[in-house]
Chain A
Amino acid sequence: MTHAGRTITVGSAPSRAILTAALVTIVILILANLVVSNVVTTSGDQLRMLLARKQNLIDQNAYLRKEITGLRALRTIETKALSLGFTSTTETLSITSEHQVAMRGDE
């Protein structure tokens, strides 16, 4: 372009390149955003499934713990012991460090 015999340059080669690169980047980012959004947004079901599995494992853990606790309860052990024929102690024999009468002669 000339004006009054002088040449005016509108936009040099480097600035055009920068502009072009920025536009391309923006387009790529928009496309990437669209792709990621589409992929991630539809993962709600997967997330819900994972949460359900997590809850299921927590529930199973709680159930098993309850079972174990129930088996360790003294009332359960007593019932089981009685059914197996165990009875209460009727006589307790204490063994002391003192030698038995029959062995004292050897000392």
Chain B
Amino acid sequence: MNDTRVKVTSLFLTLGFVLVIFRLLYWQVIAGEELRALGESQYRQTYEIHAKRGEIRTSDGFPLATNQTTHLIFAYKPNLTKQADEIARALAPILAPSLSLQEETTQSAILANSRVNEAYEQLYAKLSRNDVVWIPLDRNASADQKKAIDDLGFDGVGTEASYIRDYPEATMASRLLGFVGNDSAGNPQGYFGLEGFYDLELQGRPGVLRHETDASGRPILIGNYEEIEAKDGRDIILHLNRAIQWIVEKRLKEGLTKYGAASGDVVVMEPKTGAVLAMASLPAYDPLHYSASNQDSYSNPVISETYEPGSTFKILVMAAALDTDAVTPETRCRSCDGPVNIGGYTIRTWNNQYHPDADMREVIQYSDNVGMVFVAQQLGVDRLYEYLTRFGMDGKTGIDLEEETDSILRPSDEWKPIDLATAAFGQGVAITGMQMVRAVAAMANGGVLMKPHVVSRVEGVSPITITPSSTRRVVREETANIMKEMMVNAVENGEAKWAKPKGITVAGKTGTAQIPVAGHYDEEKTITSFVGFAPADDPKFVMLVRLREPESSPWGSETAAPLWFTISEDILEYYGVPRQ
């Protein structure tokens, strides 16, 4: 009997031990990790330290894009002790200014109530969600809003400091800058322009701070403390001259109104270095509220849109012909006495006036299409193609901006006689504004093509200075000088001479190109442009002005050229270049 009792007791004891061992095995091994993490979350707090995005500064150190401290208001559902309705009602009056989509234009009580109601509905909808535990309520709360929410003392409602982009010069150079949005994980990411191209340098790396806290959440000094420091983004310094950018945008805005153009672009470059001094495209968008603008306005048309350059292209064709000795400045055009017929197409001059025996200077001066066909025929397809490639018309310029279009020339063996003829006066070829201004800058730079760049240096622990780099010599120095003379003559005696200011020597060329629409050219709409540099003997800048669909006149000499001269007067005055 006693023996049986001992056995039963032993059995129960053994079973008990086995149960305890299994339970311990469960707590220690199977659920060990989870429980450790749960414990740590109770006595250890973890914060993400936001990295500050680098600034984008102009050449005078002024921040075009900087950062503003803002606060993220969030709710952590497991810790909420009040109902969604009660929290939403308390938070709505505080967060209404930043949550409501209605403009704060009046102080009327009705509008104020309407905005609070709108904020309440948004907050209640967010707080009622059951599929998430962490809910961001407002990402752009101010310091005052944060304080008001902290004062409420709601469990489960927290705040976290963060940064948003700020633009002290508002929309200045917005299509060059790009903007900062969020990626699929909700992290800030730069899109378009400089924000997109230099995103890695600008964004930095967030840090983490972990430390032990007491029951009240206060940090314990002798407790464990780990910090992975945030690495702020690097600042980038541009060649962009704020004063010139200001002049350009102001004058371009006036020009759009004056000539009734749909849009316009101006790019100003230093010919000797390839540094971009100003780049403006209007209409612009507000990078702070980019989502309110049409997505088509995000990209920078100077580098992303191709256009048929029209007569400005004659500079390159003539330079190629002079450099290969296909023609000389004194060569007389033997077919300039009337329209020419090529492959069944009749080519006329822009004003249907003809200049028999015109020399090459006059061909450029009169912007003579028939004369340029003669030049192209003397040059031939292969040599023209080779020079266009040298001028960088086949491929990207390599500028440090995100959305540059890769414009490609058709292979030379596909060119027909009519293609050669139309290319001579800039139709049938599509290039970007940046390609054009860079090629003309080579004329101002003694025939050497420079790589365009917007950023001069990247600051940080190991600063990077971007030095000017020449791509190649495209024409002889002598050819560049002859072209410079021809361009000066075109300005002094050409169609735009009426607009040229006195006392300034400008080398330039007007351009008017029809817009291709569904296989044919639009009869009325044009893109007008003027490209050139000043002062011609020692160029300070090369500039392209391009207007799309001007209504006051379809010609470059009556729209883009006067605007170019107005801007150049201001720039030369800014540089202190005296008039002759």
A residues near B (Cβ < 8 Å) are 37, 40-41, 43-45, 47-48, 55, 59, 62, 66, 69-70, 72-75, 89, 92, 94-96
Quick one: given A59-B143, A69-B62, A94-B579, are A41 and B220 in contact (CB under 8 Å)?
Answer: yes
Closest to A39 in B: B221
B218 touches A48 (CB 8 A): yes
Closest to A71 in B: B168
Quick one: given A37-B222, A89-B573, are A95 and B578 in contact (CB under 8 Å)?
Answer: yes
Quick one: given A74-B242, A94-B503, are A41 and B168 in contact (CB under 8 Å)?
Answer: no
B63 touches A69 (CB 8 A): yes
Task: Give the complex CA separation of A89 and B569 in angstroms.
Answer: 11
Across-interface contacts of B68 in A (CB, < 8 A): 62, 66
Q: Give me 13 A-to-B residue pairs in the complex whose CB atoms sit less than 8 angstroms apart, sorted by A's number.
A: A40-B221, A44-B214, A44-B219, A45-B218, A48-B219, A66-B66, A69-B62, A74-B172, A74-B242, A74-B243, A74-B246, A75-B169, A89-B573
Question: 8 Å CB contacts to A: which residues of B279-321?
Answer: none
B62 touches A72 (CB 8 A): yes
B222 touches A94 (CB 8 A): no
Q: Return the CB mask of B207-244 against A: 1 if under 8 Å, else 0.
A: 00000011000111110000000000000000000110
| A-B interface contact total, Cβ < 8 Å | 56
Closest to B221 in A: A40
Q: Is B166 in contact with chain A by the CB < 8 A criterion?
A: yes
Across-interface contacts of B353 in A (CB, < 8 A): none
Interface size on B, residues (CB 8 A): 27
Quick one: given A66-B166, A69-B63, A94-B503, are A44 and B218 in contact (CB under 8 Å)?
Answer: yes
Q: Which of B68, B221, B246, B503 has the most CB of A within 10 A?
A: B221
Across-interface contacts of B219 in A (CB, < 8 A): 44, 47-48
Across-interface contacts of A43 in B (CB, < 8 A): 221
Q: Which of A74, A92, A96 has the most CB of B within 10 A?
A: A74
Task: Give the complex CA separation of A83 and B545 in angstroms.
Answer: 32
Question: 8 Å CB contacts to A: which residues of B220-276?
Answer: 220-222, 242-243, 246
Across-interface contacts of B579 in A (CB, < 8 A): 92, 94
Q: Return the CB mask of B59-86 against A: 1 if under 8 Å, else 0.
A: 0001100101100000000000000000
Task: Give the complex CA separation of A89 and B170 in angstroms.
Answer: 25
For residue B491, give the distance in angstroms from its CB to the closest CB of chain A. Answer: 20
Task: Give the complex CA separation of A74 and B569 in angstroms.
Answer: 20
Across-interface contacts of A59 in B (CB, < 8 A): 69, 143
A41 touches B573 (CB 8 A): no
A69 touches B221 (CB 8 A): no
Task: Give the complex CA separation of A55 and B143 in angstroms.
Answer: 12
B169 touches A74 (CB 8 A): yes
B169 touches A73 (CB 8 A): yes
A73 touches B221 (CB 8 A): no
Q: Which of A75, A89, A95 has the most CB of B within 10 A?
A: A75
Task: Give the complex CA separation of A57 and B112 in angstroms.
Answer: 33
Across-interface contacts of A40 in B (CB, < 8 A): 221-222
Task: Give the complex CA separation of A55 and B166 in angstroms.
Answer: 20
Task: Give the complex CA separation of A72 and B61 in angstroms.
Answer: 11
A44 touches B220 (CB 8 A): yes
For residue A29, give the distance in angstroms from its CB to the closest CB of chain B. Answer: 15
Across-interface contacts of B503 in A (CB, < 8 A): 94
B143 touches A41 (CB 8 A): no
For residue A30, give the distance in angstroms from its CB to the closest CB of chain B. Answer: 15
Across-interface contacts of A95 in B (CB, < 8 A): 578
Across-interface contacts of A47 in B (CB, < 8 A): 218-219, 221
Task: Give the complex CA separation of A72 and B168 in angstroms.
Answer: 9
B168 touches A70 (CB 8 A): yes
B170 touches A75 (CB 8 A): yes
Which of these, A55, A73, A94, contacts B168 with CB under 8 Å?
A: A73
Task: Give the complex CA separation of A59 and B68 in angstroms.
Answer: 10
Q: Return the CB mask of B526-557 against A: 1 if under 8 Å, else 0.
A: 00000000000000000000000000000000
Across-interface contacts of A96 in B (CB, < 8 A): 578
For residue A55, give the distance in angstroms from its CB to the closest CB of chain B. Answer: 8
Q: Return the CB mask of B179-223 against A: 1 if under 8 Å, else 0.
A: 000000000000000000000000000000000011000111110
Task: Give the complex CA separation of A38 and B481 in angstroms.
Answer: 85
Across-interface contacts of B222 in A (CB, < 8 A): 37, 40-41
B221 touches A44 (CB 8 A): yes
Q: Which of B68, B168, B242 has the most CB of A within 10 A?
A: B168
Across-interface contacts of B62 in A (CB, < 8 A): 69, 72-73
Closest to B247 in A: A74
For residue B536, give the distance in angstroms from its CB to the closest CB of chain A. Answer: 17
Task: Give the complex CA separation of A70 and B143 in angstroms.
Answer: 19
